[in-house]
Amino acid sequence: MSPHISIKAEKVFEILGFPITNSLLVTTLVIVVFSFIARYYYQELQKEDRSLVFYGLHAMFVGLYGMFESVLRKNVNVFYGLLGSFFFFILLSNWSGLVPGVGSILIEPQIHLEEIAESKEIHETGKIPLLRGGTADLNTTIALALVSVFMTQLYGFKFLGPMGHLKKYFDFRDPIMIMLGPLELVQEFARIISFAFRLYGNIFAGEVLLTIVPFLLPVFFSFVVAPMFLMEIFVGLVQALVFVMLSAVFINMAVSHH
Amino acid sequence: MRLFATALAIGLGVIGPALGVGLIGSKAMEALGRNPEAEAPIRTTMILAAAFAESIAIFALVVALIIKFVV
């Protein structure tokens, strides 16, 4: 039996011709969990005596706030909502791939038989995993990267005004800026790719690692996989942090005058 | 031939990030030796910088996986 590695998320079923992939299912679950945590936090905030869980969450929020404050200075309150939700959504999505059952529960694919014959990546038993980690799908990470870059542009327009922001890209008074402006423009598109592939690559590589390692050394299975698991939890945290810190730095660059 | 391409992509691709992570670690050690009370910020920045260097290796890994499984 060979390990099942698929570079893209598989289609589980269709709703009115709209494909629902296994990664989208997990992302939806993550959003539901995220909403419940946010609701719980808000409810506890209204009470007089608060639970210990509330203070645990609160400590995380305050720590993150301090981290953003060191980058964004006085504007931190404007951007904390966006960047904080980015962090916790990416964190939960990264960790969702490590939950037992995600990637190991196999189902019969609902797609037509000729499509199975075409795709070479199908499991040799003809089955596909029901669930797949949220950010282990390139679509999710590209969406996150697009939101991040688009909001950076939007905040640039909002804080510097249309002329002030466009002057970063099209400035014809200075011969150096004529050359550097288009480069800045290219950099914006490079950012989308770099954001998306960094997150996707790290999480997907982690999944591949966890799939491959038991086949390399089947005897001392748990002794090898347990440290790998801990490392993947750490990588998920670091990558979520890297994504938001980079977003924070780029937003700070976009809203500040040269 | 495809296996060869995969091996070359990942093998050559991780040389740069490996040097980068090594440099980041050594410079962080130097900074720590010079200024031991700044341990916490040095550690945080070092891990962030190491993650950036590592992401270049991850690009190479993604390219290798694409060569292996998709193309």
What pLDDT, in 10s, does the model give residues A166-194? Answer: 888 887 887 887 888 888 889 889 889 88
Q: Residue A33 is encoded by which pair of tokens?
A: 């969990």
- Would the CB atoms of B65 and A7 count as touching at under 8 Å? yes
Q: What is the mean pLDDT of residues A139-156?
A: 93
Pinpoint the alpha helices (H) of A76-220: 76-96, 113-118, 138-166, 175-216
* A129 within some domain: yes
Say yes or no: B26 contacts chain A, CB-CB below 8 A: no
Question: How many domains, in total, are found in chain A?
Answer: 1
Query: Which is higher by pLDDT, A220 or A249?
Result: A249
Is the pLDDT higher at B6 or at A212? B6
On whether residue A3 sits in a domain, the answer given is no
d(CA A193, CA B19): 23
A159 vs A125: which has the higher pLDDT: A159
Nearest to B61 among A5, A121, A201 (CB): A201
pLDDT at A114 over 60: no
Residue B69: pLDDT band with limits 50, 70, 90 = confident
Q: Which domain holds residue B47?
A: 2-69
Q: What is the CATH number of the domain that holds B13?
A: 1.20.20.10
Q: Which amino acid is at A24?
A: L
A200: Cβ–Cβ under 8 A, 6 or more apart, which residues? A135, A136, A137, A138, A140, A141, B62
Residue of A nearest to B58 (CA): A201
Cα Rg, chain A, nearest whole Å: 22
Q: What integer pLDDT is reported at residue A49 of this predicted model? A: 84
pLDDT band at A209 (very low <50, low <70, confident <90, very high): confident
A2 band by pLDDT with thresholds 50, 70 and 90: low
The arithmetic mean of pLDDT across residues A107-116, rounded, is 61
A121, A198, A241 ranked by CB distance to B58: nearest? A198
Mean predicted confidence (pLDDT) in A62-91:
90
pLDDT above 70: residue B51: yes
Beta carbons of B51 and A201 less than 8 Å apart: no
Q: Cα A156 to the chain's mean position, in Å?
A: 23
Residue A53's contacts (CB-CB under 8 Å, 6 or more residues apart) are A40, A44
The Cα–Cα gap between A206 and A230 comes to 11
A221 token code pair: 């299975």
| Cα A251 from Cα A257, distance rounded (Å) | 12
Q: List, in sequence order, every residue forming a beta bridge with A106; answer none if it has no partner.
A: A129
**A246: in domain:** yes
Q: Does residue A50 belong to any structural domain of this protein?
A: yes
Is residue A136 assigned to a domain? yes
DSSP B17: H
Confidence check: pLDDT of B16 > 70: yes
A227: confidence class by pLDDT, cuts 50, 70, 90: confident
CB pairs under 8 A between A and B: 41
Place of tokens 């800026």: A177
Per-residue confidence (pLDDT) for residue A228, from 0 to 100: 86
Q: Which domain holds residue A21?
A: 11-255
Run of H or E residues at B35? none
- DSSP 3-state of A148: helix
pLDDT of residue A180: 84
CA distance A10 to chain B (A): 14
Question: Residue A185: CB partners within 8 Å, gap ≥ 6?
Answer: A169
pLDDT at A226: 85
Per-residue pLDDT, B61: 85
Whether residue A242 and residue B55 make contact (CB cut-off 8 A), yes or no, is yes
Residues of A in contact with B59 (CB under 8 A): 197-198, 201
Task: Tell me the pLDDT tens digit for each residue of A18-75.
Answer: 888 888 989 999 999 999 999 999 998 888 888 888 999 999 999 999 989 988 888 8
Map tokens 């301090």 to a residue: A66
Domain-located, residue A6: no
Q: Exposed/middle/buried for A140, CB within 10 Å: 0-12, 13-18, 19+?
A: buried
Q: Nearest-CA neighbor of A244 among A133, A81, A134, A95?
A: A81
Does position A145 have pLDDT exceeding 90, yes or no? yes
pTM > 0.90: yes or no: no
Of A5, A197, A238, the CB nearest to B69: A5
Q: Please list every residue in chain A whose beta carbon sits closer than 8 Å to the beta carbon of residue B52.
A: 242
Tokens of A83: 């960047």
Q: Provide the number of structural domains found in chain B.
A: 1
Residue A128 has phi, psi (to 5 degrees) of -125, 150
